[in-house]
Amino acid sequence: MEADGFDLKSLLDPEAAGEVIRVMQICNACRYCEGFCAVFPAMTRRRQFDEGDVGYLANLCHNCGACYHACQYAPPHEFGVNVPQALAAARNDSYAAYAWPAPFAVLFRRNGLFVTLGVSAGLALTVGLMLAMIAPQLFWGVHLGEGAFYRIMPHTMMAAVPLAISAFVVVSFVMGWRRYWRHTGAKWGGFADLVDAVKASATLRHLGGDTSSGVLSGPGCPTGDDGSNNARRIYHQLTMYGFLLCFAATSVGTIYHYGFGREAPYGYFELPVVLGTIGGVILCIGTAGLFVEKRRLHPSVRHDDGLGMDYAFIVSLFFVSFTGLLLLAVRETSFMGVTLAIHLGVVYGFFLILPFSKFVHGLYRFAALIASAGEARRS
């Protein structure tokens, strides 16, 4: 047991971790899937597997299902090897294990419900407070030009809430990352590993079924009917880049505000609006696509316990971008006040639940990619 109460040895559910160790031992003798993804090369570098290895391999897997469809030992074979499902169960468990503050780990248990309630509470509270505190003629009035949003909600308040939430989210992410790193025994091998992980994330090359390069021409994920396509990879990329563009739009808006004394809303062709509009549109397409792809996932590969978490996160992210676009569309009408309240409510709720949602998948997967790049370089 470590000083902060973090026990490195018994973090994961023994049943889920045990099943990963069992199938990995079979796979390590077979090695048929060696070139499928980053999991199998990492597996071959080990003779024995401990709990830390389980946390590492589980977060290195992107649940494409290729190894299940190719496996001669999959059910109904008596070995019953189902690598994607075993890793998915351990991966979901690892989110709770690395969560900070630790008592909040319980929020990963019925995560779909928690995320839905968290975002709804943010929405209800913001809309309710604004309706109660702002005079109706102001709330339902038409406000034009720079500073229009701040006639509904003062900028100090609009910025203070996300600032307070962000401080908590950043600390929670740093602590979660630290827990993951220590539990898995990952080693920092230098900036070359970081660059490799950034490249793998930027191109999502593993989702293309290509472990060696960044090209977009890999076969993609199996569809379960002997085919494969790149749909998951494309929707993942749209979601990731859409999110980053929206983040960039907010950052540029902040520079406009504090650096140039310019107040939102900005013109339709100004940088914050252009970045936010493109980001919002591709984020809507990406999340809608991921929702459809999730439903299409082969039942044998899918881990049903984690579905609520996946759907709730995807839908919340969709609403963050959709309400942002809606605000852009109605900002010069009397619906601006209510749409601003709804958008802010969804955004506040979404950011508050971030450390206890599927978002942590990006965090731990990135850490696993850094560790994997280092291992590959050293071996």
The footprint of ligand SF4 (CB under 6 A) covers 26-27, 30-33, 36-37, 39, 61-67, 70-73, 81, 83-84, 87
Is 313 within 8 Å of 361 (Cβ atoms)?
no
Alpha-carbon distance 296 to 8, whole Å?
36
Report the nearest approach of ligand SF4 to the CB of residue 33 (Å).
3
- Between 233 and 331, name the residue whose CB sits nearer to ligand SF4: 233
Give least dist CB 238 to ligand SF4, A.
Answer: 20
Distance in Å, CB of 368 to ligand SF4, minimum: 11
Q: What's the closest the beta carbon of residue 243 comes to ligand SF4, in angstroms?
A: 22
Query: Can you tell me the distance from the alpha carbon of 32 to that of 1, in angstroms, rounded to the nearest whole number?
Result: 38
Minimum Å distance from CB 353 to ligand SF4? Answer: 26
* Residue among 300, 367, 245, 237 at smallest CA distance from 82: 300
| All residues at 6 or more sequence positions from 167 whose CB lies less than 8 Å from its CB, including other chains | none
User: Which is closer to ligand SF4, CB of 64 or CB of 288?
Assistant: 64
Minimum distance from CB of 88 to ligand SF4 (Å)? 8
Query: By C-beta, is 81 or 363 nearer to ligand SF4?
Result: 81
Question: The tokens of 85 are what?
Answer: 């499902």
Report in angstroms how near the CB of residue 70 gets to ligand SF4 at its nearest: 6
Q: Are 232 and 207 in contact (CB under 8 A)?
A: yes
d(CA 151, CA 317): 27
CB of 239 to ligand SF4, least distance (A): 18
d(CA 169, CA 165): 6
Nearer Cβ to ligand SF4, position 32 or 268?
32
Nearer to ligand SF4, 83 or 309 (CB): 83
* 303 or 331: CB nearest ligand SF4: 303
CB nearer to ligand SF4: give 221 or 342: 221
Q: How far is CA 216 from the centre of its chain?
A: 21
33 or 278, CB closer to ligand SF4? Answer: 33
